[in-house]
Amino acid sequence: MLTHSQLVTLYRSLRDERVLSIYVDGTAADPAIQRAWRLQLEHGLKDVRTWLADSSHEERESFERCVRLLEGELASFISSVGAPGWVAFITPDGAREAHQVPVAVPTLAVWSTGPCLAPYMRALKEARPVVVAVADARKADLYRYRLAHLDRIETVRAHHTVERPSHMGSPPRQGFHSGTRGTAGQDAAQRSLLEGRDRMLVDAVDRIGHLAGSDGWILLAGIHRVVTRLAEQLAPIAPDRVLALDSLDVHASDAEIAEAARAGASTLRVASDAKRVAQIVDHAGAHGLGVLGPADTRSALGQSCVRELYLTHRYLEDHAAEAEDAVRAALDQDASVEEVSGIAAERLDEHGGMAAGLRFRPATIEGAITV
């Protein structure tokens, strides 16, 4: 699956070429229904042929060559595409991308100049890395969860040195009297253990931050007091991206960790979307660096001042052509694109299903303050 930067690179490399964009919904559980996507796809291709009826012979031949290349990519699929979704971007020169995606996409075929990218936005959010740390006082096991797969990355361990305490039966060392009590030795051992744990936490925070990068979600599980310390140290470097998981302990299986990672990342994503959309609503109301609704958002996109574009699934379904134009305009100006869900989507749908965070607010946008 493509990351945001890879999608931008693909778009820019194909923006002036004729491209057959294919999306396949692979979520059906019934084998009989699974095979229906081929019929739906054939209907989509037939619609494109009808639309091309009055086009040049060269363009119709280019389309048919792409269809033949598509059949080669689909040849290995007997019934299901083997994932919730499948995507391909094909030019007459070959398939530029053909891969599974971990979310459902509508089955469709689009023939256009440049790839059709709006349906890909739902899958794009799944590309953000998810780092899971399961920790106690002795170690932190670090995992990466991405595209429904869990990988163990490394273990950060606590290292401490405890000198064996002297006792009454030991020969005295020159210039030193060990005394007759064991309390001092026990205190030294405890201090060493705590120091080792603290060093482990520092190392774990460093590694977690590196693995998560600037936008990855961070999930913490294990011994409560250790998780609390990790969360406190990670909060400044990953604000609003850290979540403690009460459902996991240090004995959790990989399957349990994977499921908790999926659910935890979704929780963080929904909360992040809700917070950002609320901020944009406030900024738009105050004529600040935010706009609400399709009209003002398209105006901002047209003036290349958008930093983040937010769309809802309803808008993508009901206004496919306008959504595609908006996504392309956003990518042209290096803006991020997000399909929001949950509370954020409900609130954004009240304003037409589209909003944007701005780099600057030009005076030509409706309601802007002039000075």
End-to-end CA distance of the chain: 46
Least confident of 30-34, 209-213, 336-340: 30-34
Average pLDDT value for residue range 216-226? 95
pLDDT of residue 255: 95
Any domain includes 202: yes
User: Are 143 and 51 in a shared domain?
Assistant: no
- 149 and 80 part of one domain: no
Give the SS3 label for residue 203.
helix
Q: Output DSSP code: residue 25.
A: E
Tokens of 150: 């869990």
pLDDT of residue 194: 67
Could you tell me the CATH number of the domain that includes residue 60? 3.30.960.10
Do 327 and 339 have their domain in common? yes
In the structure, what pLDDT confidence band is assigned to residue 181 with cuts at 50, 70 and 90? low
pLDDT band at 195 (very low <50, low <70, confident <90, very high): confident
Tell me the pLDDT of the chain averaged across its residues. 88
Residues 357, 308 contacting (CB under 8 angstroms): yes
**Mean pLDDT value across residues 96-101:** 95
Q: SS3 of 353, please?
A: coil
Backbone angles phi, psi at 94, to 5 degrees: 145, 170
Structural domain for 282, as ranges: 273-358
Counted domains in the chain: 3
User: pLDDT at position 369, please?
Assistant: 39
Q: What is the pLDDT of residue 368?
A: 44
Report the pLDDT value the prediction gives residue 116, as an integer from 0 to 100. 97
Strand runs labelled E in 12-148:
18-25, 85-91, 94-101, 108-113, 130-135, 139-146
CA dihedral over 184, 190, 194, 196, signed as positive or negative: positive
What tens digit of pLDDT does each residue of 121-169 get?
988 888 788 999 999 989 999 999 987 789 999 999 987 554 555 555 5
240: pLDDT confidence band, cut at 50, 70 and 90? very high
Note the pLDDT tens digit of each residue in 1-41. Answer: 898 889 999 999 999 999 999 999 988 766 666 678 889 99
* 252-282 residue pLDDT tens: 999 999 999 999 999 999 999 999 999 999 9
In the chain, the amino acid numbered 244 is A
Question: Cα angle at 146 between 27 and 309, to 5 degrees?
Answer: 80
In a domain, 266, yes or no: no
Q: Is the pLDDT of residue 76 over 70?
A: yes
Residue 238 pLDDT > 50: yes
Check whether residue 139 and residue 102 sit in a common domain.
Answer: no
Q: Is residue 175 part of a domain?
A: no
Residue 217 CA to residue 39 CA, distance in Å, equals: 39
**Are 145 and 208 found together in one domain?**
yes
Identify whether residues 113 and 38 lie together within a single domain. Answer: yes
| Alpha-carbon distances, residue 136 vs 153, 201, 245, 264 (angstroms) | 17, 10, 14, 20
